[in-house]
Structure 1
Amino acid sequence: MRIELVSWLFLLSLCYVLGQFQRIWGQNGPLYESTKQLIASQSSRAGRIWNETQQAIYERSERLQLAKDTLDDQQRNVSARLELFFDSDYSAEWRACSKKHELQVAHFNRELVDKYSICRNSLDHIMGHFQQEIVHEADFLGRASLEIAGISKACQIWQLKQPGLNHAGVLICTVAGIGGINQRMSASLVVCDDILLEMVQEDLDTPSCLFYHNLKMEFDEVFAQIESCAMN
C-alpha cells in the first residue's frame, strides 16, 4: 500500500483551474463544489486505506498469536511426554524400553527447551515491535479521513462561493493540507507495511521456529518407538 504524494504541479494546475472557473462560471460557485468534492474524495480514500490496513493488521496479529499458541501447545506436549518418560512408577517393560533411548531423550530435553526459547523469543520480539510501532502509526491512519474532512473548515472553503475573496489562498491551504496528510499517511504505511511483512515472515515456517518443529517431530518418533516397545 502506497499513497502518491501531492505535487506542486497539482497545486499549479489547480490554481490555473481557479482562473478558468472564475472566468467561465463567475459567481455560480463551481470552484467551491469542485474543492468540496476533492476533499470528500480524498477523505473517502483515506478511509478505504485505513479499512484495508486495519484488516491486514488484524489478520497478521491473529496469525502471529496462533503461531505463539501452537508453539506453546507443542512445548506443553513435549513436557508432558518427558514427565512420562522419567516417571519412576512405570512398568519394568517401559523402563527397559526407555533405557535404550535414554541418551536421545536427554538430548531432546535440552535441545527442545533451548530451541523453544529461541523461537518463542523471536515471536515475542515481533509482537512487541508490533505493539510499540504499528499501533502508533495505525492511530494516525485511523484519524486521517476525519483530518482531511476537517480541511473544509480549517481552510474556510466557503469563501470559494463568493467573488472577490482570497480564492488562491483557500486553494493553497486545501492542497497543502491534503498533501501534508497524504505524505504523513505514506510514511505511516511504509512503517506498517514493513512490520506486517515481518509478521508474515516470522512464523512457524521460518528457520528460528522450523528447527524446533523438526526437532519435536524427531522426539515424537522416538517416543512412539518407546511406547510401541513397551506394549509388545
Structure 2
Amino acid sequence: MCDISVKSNITAKILQVHGHFQRIWGQNGPLYESTKQLIASQSSSAASIWNSTQQAIDLKLEYLQETIDTLDGHLQVVSGRLEMFLGIQYSEEWRACSKKYELQVAHFNRELLDKYSVCRNSLDHIKDHFQEEIVLEANFLSKASQEITELSSTCRIWQLKQTVFNHAGVLLCTVAGIGRINQRMISSLELCDAILLEMSLEDLDTPSCLFYHHLKMEFDEVFAQIELCAMN
C-alpha cells in the first residue's frame, strides 16, 4: 500500500513537471528556451573560468607583495641597528665595542641602503611587468560572461518565440557569437597561463637582491659580535 502511494506521488510530480514545461514551451517554444539556457550555461562557464583565473592572479600578486613587504621589514631592522651603531644614547661599553667596527659600520651604512634600493626596484619592475602583461588578457576574461549574456538582446532571441521571424538568423547569430567569445577566451586564457607560469619561474632572488641578502648576513654577524662584546 505504501509502495503504491509513493509511486503515485512520483507519477504526480512527473506529470506536474511535464505540465510545467508544456506551459513554458506553449508560451515561448522549446527553441527559445533551449537557446536561452545555452546562453546562460555558457555565461556561467565563462564566469567560472574568470573566477579561477582571478584567484591565480591574486595569489601570484600576493606572493610578490609578501616578498616586497619582507624586504621592507628587513630594512626597518637594519635601519634600527645602524642607528644603534651611530647613536650617542647608548652605553659606553656599546660605543667602545662599535668603535672597533667603525669602518665596517660605515661600509654597511652606505652599501645596505644602496643595495636595498636596487633590490626593491628590481622587484617593483617584476610586479609592474606582470601586471601590465596580464591586465589586457584578464580584462577580457572578466567581461566574457557579460558579453555572452548580452547575446540575448544582440541576437534578439525573443524572436524565437514567434514563427514569423527568421529563426535561422537568430540561431546563427547566437552560435557564432558564443563561438567568437569562446575562441577569444581560449586565446586569453592561454596567454594568462603563460604569464602565470613565467611568474612562477621568475626568480625573485635577483642578483641585486642576492647581493643585498648576503650583505645583510654579514651585517647581522657584525652586529652580533658588537652585542657580545658589549655584554662582556
TM bucket, shorter chain: 0.7 to 0.9
TM-score (normalised: structure 1): 0.73
Is 1:124 aligned to residue 124 of structure 2? Answer: yes
Q: Are the aligned partners of 1:137 and 1:192 in contact in 2 as well (CA < 8 Å)?
A: yes
Superposed counterparts of 1:46-125, under 5 Å? 46-125=46-125
| Rg comparison, structure with higher value | 2
Q: Are the aligned partners of 1:116 and 1:209 in contact in 2 as well (CA < 8 Å)?
A: yes
**CA distance in structure 2 between the aligned counterparts of 1:59 and 1:80, rounded to whole angstroms:** 32
Shift of 1:80: 1.5
Of Structure 1 and Structure 2, the greater helix share is in 2
Q: 1:38 to 1:189 in 2, by over 3 A?
A: same
Shift of 1:205: 4.6
Q: 1:126 to 1:204 in 2, by over 3 A?
A: closer
**CA distance in structure 2 between the aligned counterparts of 1:209 and 1:167, rounded to whole angstroms:** 63
Aligned partner of 1:156: which letter? R
Structure 2, unpaired ranges of 5+ = 1-27
Higher relative contact order (CA 8 A, sep 6+): 1
Q: Look up the SS of the partner of 2:116 in the other structure.
A: helix
Q: 1:177 to 1:52 in 2, by over 3 A?
A: same
Q: Look up the SS of the partner of 2:109 in the other structure.
A: helix
**CA distance in structure 2 between the aligned counterparts of 1:139 and 1:65, rounded to whole angstroms:** 21
Is 1:154 aligned to residue 154 of structure 2? Answer: yes
Q: 1:175 to 1:132 in 2, by over 3 A?
A: same
Shift of 1:72: 1.0
Alignment correspondent of 1:20: none
Q: 1:96 to 1:130 in 2, by over 3 A?
A: same
Alignment correspondent of 1:5: none
Superposed counterparts of 1:139-178, under 5 Å? 139-163=139-163, 165-178=165-178
TM-score (normalised: structure 2): 0.73
Equivalences, count: 205
Q: Are the aligned partners of 2:123 and 2:204 in contact in 1 as well (CA < 8 Å)?
A: no
Deviates more, 1:140-149 or 1:157-166: 157-166
Shift of 1:136: 4.3
Alignment correspondent of 2:38: 38
Q: Are the aligned partners of 2:108 and 2:219 in contact in 1 as well (CA < 8 Å)?
A: yes
Structure 1, unpaired ranges of 5+ = 1-27
Q: Deviations over 1:150-182 (max 9, x none)?
A: 112211223444557433322321122112222
Q: Look up the SS of the partner of 1:170 in the other structure.
A: helix
**CA distance in structure 1 between the aligned counterparts of 2:197 and 2:112, rounded to whole angstroms:** 28
Q: Deviations over 1:42-87 (max 9, x none)?
A: 1011010111122223222222222222111111211111121122
Shift of 1:39: 1.5
Q: Look up the SS of the partner of 1:142 in the other structure.
A: helix
Q: Look up the SS of the partner of 2:87 in the other structure.
A: coil
RMSD between aligned residues: 2.9
Is 1:215 aligned to residue 227 of structure 2? Answer: no
Aligned partner of 1:76: which letter? Q
Q: Are the aligned partners of 1:155 and 1:170 in contact in 2 as well (CA < 8 Å)?
A: yes
